[in-house]
Structure 1
Amino acid sequence: MTEKVNAQCHCGAVKFTVELADGFNTIRRCNCSFCRMRGAVVVSAPLSGIHITHGKEKLAEYRFNTRTAAHYFCSVCGIYTFHQRRSNPDQYGVNVACIENVSPFDFSEVTVADGVHHPSDGGGGVAGILRYTPTKPA
């Protein structure tokens, strides 16, 4: 069963819906050079699972290195929204912070994928676990 959620960039210029095939069970980060700087926690969705409902013309695209993964962000506020994955081009990685009522800090542990040694280059696997422990109750 798929779960459909609403999402948007920070300023609201780009709005979209996401169909998550496995809920938030695919939550992860990556340690590649781009993801280290971006710092986003992502969840997977099939390519057919994202529907831009507002502001498609405001999406900008960035590709680097092999130019396989297409990273999309809002050209107004600069927030990364989603990307077509290099390790699985049939999926998007979606920034959980863009999903309505979801925060990266909702997850006490997030698996960090080894993007430095990318699976498409014969490496991959898990690089570590990112943990969040709040110091004060929410």
Structure 2
Amino acid sequence: MLHKGSCHCGKVAFEVEGELGGAVRCNCSICSRKGALLWAVPHQKLRMLAWGDDLGRYTFGGKAIAHRFCRTCGIHPFAEDVREGNERSAYVNINCLDGLDLAAVEVFDFDGRSA
């Protein structure tokens, strides 16, 4: 299934292909603050439609994940592995997907603070 999403202002827009079987609620310091519900997909399944100079990048700790955000509205639509190669993942914030019934998505808790 093809899902489309964006930040609040629409300057960062994307589509992602896959079956959404559930999302992860991580309690790490950044995910808990931004309230993200994350869907992990192979990076090649995420296709950017719009971003320009508006796509910011934030890393912390081990710098393994690039947390992406819109420089205009501040919304974090996804994150991605920083490593190169075919094994990369993207972590889509399902709160940013269009027309999704969030109440119908199973949410799994992940202890990112301890990871």
What TM-score, normalized by structure 2, do the two folds share?
A: 0.86
Any stretches of 5+ residues in structure 1 without a counterpart?
119-138
Q: Distance in 1 between matches of 2:74 and 2:41?
A: 21
State how 1:1-138 maps to structure 2 within 5 Å: 3-20=1-18, 23-85=19-81, 90-102=88-100, 104-107=102-105, 109-118=106-115
Q: Deviations over 1:61-89 (max 9, x none)?
A: 00001111110011100000101148xx6
Any stretches of 5+ residues in structure 2 without a counterpart?
none
Is the 8 Å Cα contact of residues 26 and 32 (structure 2) preserved in structure 1? Answer: yes
- How much has 1:106 moved relative to structure 2? 4.0
- What is the SS of the residue equivalent to 1:80? coil
Structure 1 stretches (4+) deviating beyond 3 angstroms? 103-107
- What is the SS of the residue equivalent to 2:92? strand
Same amino acid, percent of matched pairs: 32
Is the 8 Å Cα contact of residues 11 and 70 (structure 2) preserved in structure 1? Answer: yes
Change (3 A) 1:63 1:92: same
Larger radius of gyration: 1
Name the amino acid aligned to 1:5: H
Q: Deviations over 1:7-40 (max 9, x none)?
A: 11111111111122xx221411101111111111
Change (3 A) 1:94 1:70: same
How many aligned positions are there? 111
Q: Cα RMSD between the aligned structures?
A: 1.8
Name the amino acid aligned to 1:6: K
Change (3 A) 1:72 1:100: same
- What is the SS of the residue equivalent to 1:79? coil
Higher relative CO (Cα under 8 Å, sequence separation at least 6) belongs to: 2
What TM-score, normalized by structure 1, do the two folds share?
A: 0.73
